[in-house]
Structure formats: structure tokens, C-alpha cells
Chain A
Amino acid sequence: MGATGLAIQLAYVISAALFIFGLKLLGSAATARKGNLLSAVGMLLAIVAALLDQGIVEYQWILLGFVLGGVIGAGAARLVQMTAMPEMVALFNGFGGMASLLVGAAALATAGSTFVLITIVLSILIGGLTFTGSLVAYGKLSETIGSGAVTFRGQQIVNSLIVLGILASAVMFCLQPENSLWLYLIIGLSLLFGVMVVIPIGGADMPVVISLLNSYSGLAACAAGFAIGNNILIVAGALVGAAGIILTKIMCKAMNRSLSNVLFSGFGSVSTEQTVVEGEIKPISVEDAFYVLEAATNVVIVPGYGMAVAQAQHVVKELAELLEENGCVVNFGIHPVAGRMPGHMNVLLAEADVPYDQLLEMDEVNPRMETVDVAIVIGANDVVNPAAREVESSPIYGMPVINVDKARTVFVLKRSMASGFAGIENPLFYKENTRMLFGDAKESIGGLVREFS
């Protein structure tokens, strides 16, 4: 290793340290922005170091790639709507996977040992399935394709055959790396496999899928790092892989389901339960709701994906401010799987200028629910369903939920009486203390705001 080579390796060490420190600063909202900046500096350093490599004799293709990717990335980052963040992250996961697939395939030209060949297979496999899996996830999230679970007879058999095919081609590839048929087979089957693993997963489970694909995009980079023998790819890829795995675990726990249950059984296929819901639906007008809120001293707002769809976050913020001026304590209760990706609600409310210390996690908000005068549920359904505590036959029994029914009064803002995304009956709507405020969430809240002012 020459002096330049040594300098490059040292630069990689420093950039790894910057990534780690950046992630550490992400542990608090106050320092998170600085953390992201440090991480970006680490990336810049790694890129500059890579450019100094003496094996590089011409720069025009690198430059072209940078410009092309940079312009697309910067444009997307500036233009994306906060409601569309899940789609964007899904798409970016896919690009990362594809990049690792390409690097893995290109590394074949210089591959020596069987170990390197195996890591090439892994980077192609993980990268490929991340790419097509993310494209399907993107399609489901942006609703360019149906967001429901696609299941068909013999699906498990087809999937098993694909896995066997991948294994067989991988073995043949390691035995005959010069025969490019095996390489193409692995690429093709990996891409197909990505589609097959994501289509049976329904829209409500998307937070799990994006987290998992996020993890895969890191692991693909990691495998590519093995294939070309580069430390920084391994370290950075492993950090991303770990992040995705932890988020996946949190999402699964919040839905009280195992990962294999999410991956292999569409939520829609759960048999409809036979619960007899007692009580009647009690609608309330905007005017009456206003009188209740005017007298309230403690309000908790529980948003769900419906708030994002109705683009109601800004008017919700207005209502929260008016309530506070009226001498009322207002908090937001955020369920971990509210929205279509981890933390989605928090970003939407932050965009509407709601301070982050007003956003409480489920475990913080539940113990104080008995002291709450009014809980306002906006576009959320399954995450506030008391059947998760009370009805043992319910498919969501055991899932931790926000116990809004324990508040003195519950307002549920809802378009109609159709059941939630998962198609599960919600006894909350029939409770003694529940009042239904029917109509578009944005208009209903807007009506309340007008009553106050």
C-alpha cells in the first residue's frame, strides 16, 4: 500500500467515525440536524478519498454519473410533499439496491476467490430484490397499483421454486464464474423474487415493508463492500442494515405480529370475526363539538393516515393553538404505526409547525388518558380500536393501542361508517362516551376553528 493508499484508508476511517457520530446525534431532536450534516461531511470525505485512488484514470463517466444522480436527487428532495415521504424513501431504497447490484456484478471482472464470488451473489441477490421490491412498494404507496395484498393459490410453491432456482444458480455460478448464464439467472430470479415477496403484503403493513427494504439496501451495500474488499462500504452498510432491522422490530411489536406473519400472510386474508357490537352510533354536529371543546381543559389529538390524506395537519395545528389560547392543555398522541412509515405523523405535524415536545408516544399518553376531557381521533382507526384489549377473537387482539376510549369524551372524525384499512369492526364508535363527527376531516376541523374565532 503506497502513501496515497494509506491516506485513502485513513480517510475512510474518519468518515466511518463521522457516520457513527452523526447517527448518535440523531438520538435527540435538538441535535439531529447537526448529526445529519456530520454524516454528509463523512460521505463527502469518503467520495473525495475514493476519487484519489490511483486506479482511476478518467473522470468523465464518474462526473456524468454524479451530475445526473445529483440533479435528480436534489430535485426530488426539494419537491417532494411530506405526505409523499414514504413513496420517496421506498424509491430511494430501490436505487440503493440497484447500485449495489451493479457494483456486485461489475466486481466479477476482478473476482478471485470463492469467498468473493459468494459475496457477489449476495450483493446481486439482496440488491436485486431490494430494487424490484421497492418499486412494488412505491407503486402500492403512491397507489399507482392497487395497495391491497395480492395472493394466489400456490404462491408459496412458486416462491420456494424461485428460492431453489436462486440457490442452484448461485452454486453453479461459484463453480463456473466464467459462464455468464448463471450470472444472468441470478439477476433475473432476484428481481423476480423482489416482486413476489412484496405483492402479498397489504397497504396497512407498509411501515414494516419500508423498514425492511431500508435494511436490505444497507445489507446490499455491505455485500458489495465484501465483493470489492472495501471497509467503508461494509461499515456504513451494516449501520443502515441495523437501523432498518430495529425499525422493523419496532413496527412489528406495535402491531403485535411476528415478522413472518407480516411477510407471509396478507392482512386482508384474516377471516372476518363475529363480534356483536353493542350500543349505537351517536353523531355530533360541529357546533355541539365546539361547546364541548370550549369547556375542555385537557385535549389529546390522535392522528392517523386519514389526516395526511385529507391534508388536515395545518388546520389541526390552528385548532390546537386556539384551544391553548382558551386555557386548555393540548397534546398529540402518536401510535408507532400511524401513517405509512415509521414517524410519518411526526414529520407531517412538524411541517405544520407543531412543536415536537407536544407529540407524545403511545406509552406516554396512555397512562394519562383518564384525565383527558376530550380525545379527538382524526383519520385513525385500528390504532385506537379497543377491541385490541377487549375482544379476544379480534384479529388485532393484543396489539398495543392508544386507549382513547378511556378519555371522558371521544370525538371520532370520519368520512363514513366504512371500516378501517384492515377491515376490522371498531367497537369504539359504539361506546357510551364516543361522538362521531362525520365528514371530511379538513372541513370538520375548519368548522371548529371558525366557531372559535
Chain B
Amino acid sequence: MEAVFLTFILMLAIFLGFELINKVPATLHTPLMSGANAISGITVVGAIGLAGTGQQDLSNWLGAAAVALASINVVGGYMVTDRMLAMFKKRGK
């Protein structure tokens, strides 16, 4: 049942994603990509759970490495997106 429930969420999220992204204008496609990159760093949430188990085993180390990699995405992704979007200005401003 859990599997069906999760797949249901997946399907709805994908359709929602299509609707949202279709409305993004071409001029913002690069920030969209780097912003999406930052969101894909959500893996950090899963990695946290693995890195903090307190057991000094393989899965703990894998989790810690995943936290580091995903944090690069999260921090770098949001910061560089903000840096880019700050440069987009309307005429006459």
C-alpha cells in the first residue's frame, strides 16, 4: 500500500511540475536550471538521517558523504541563482 501511495504522489508531482515549468519564459531558463539543481539537493534530507545514526558503519559514512555533496548543490545552487536573477533588470531601472 505504501508503494502505491508514494507512486500516487510521484504522478501528481510530475504533472504539477510540467504545468509550472511550461510557464517559465525562455529568458529565465538558465536560472531555472540552477534553481532546479538546488532543489535536487533535497537528497540532503535523506542523507541527514543516514549520517546521524551514531553507528560507525558504512551506511553512516555514505550518508555523511551524501550530505556534503548535496549541500554543495543546495548552497551553491540557490546562491548562484540569486546572483543571476539579481542581474535581470527591466528597461529604465
Q: Residues on A close to B: CB < 8 A?
A: 19-20, 22-24, 26-30, 32-33, 35-37, 39-40, 43, 46-47, 49-51, 53, 55-59, 61-62, 64-66, 68-70, 72-74, 76-78, 80, 82, 85, 88-89, 92-93, 95-96, 98-100, 102-103, 105-109, 113, 115, 210-211, 214, 217-218, 220-222, 224-226, 228-247, 250, 334, 336, 341-344, 346-347, 350-351, 353, 355-359, 361
State whether A228 and B46 are in contact (beta carbons under 8 Å apart), knowing that A23-B20, A92-B34, A355-B89 are contacts in the complex: yes
Q: List B contacts of A356 (CB < 8 A).
A: 27, 88-90
> Interface size class for chain B?
35 or more
On whether the beta carbons of B45 and A230 are closer than 8 Å, the reply is: yes
- In the bound complex, do residue B45 and residue A232 qualify as a contact, i.e. CB atoms below 8 Å apart? yes
Q: Is the CB of B33 within 8 A of A210?
A: yes
Q: Give the interface SS of chain A, mostly helix, strand, loop or mixed.
A: helix
Whether B48 lies near A47 (C-beta < 8 A) is: yes
Question: Bound complex: CA of A237 vs CA of B62, how far in Å?
Answer: 20
How far apart sit A427 and B89, CA to CA, in the bound complex (Å)?
36
Residue-wise, chain B 34-74 has the 8 Å CB interface mask toward A (1 for contact) of: 11111111111111111111100111111111111111111
Closest 9 CB pairs of A and B: A69-B71, A242-B17, A65-B67, A73-B76, A343-B29, A56-B52, A73-B75, A238-B13, A77-B79
Interface residues of B in 1-45 (CB under 8 A from A): 2-3, 6, 9-10, 13-18, 20-45
Question: B88 to A238, Cβ gap below 8 A?
Answer: no
**Which of B29, B31, B63, B64 sits near A36, CB closer than 8 Å?**
B31
Q: List 28 A-B contacts (CB under 8 A).
A: A33-B86, A36-B35, A36-B82, A47-B44, A55-B53, A57-B53, A72-B76, A74-B75, A78-B83, A88-B76, A92-B77, A96-B40, A99-B43, A99-B70, A106-B50, A217-B37, A220-B40, A225-B6, A233-B42, A239-B16, A242-B20, A243-B36, A247-B32, A341-B33, A347-B87, A350-B84, A357-B90, A357-B91
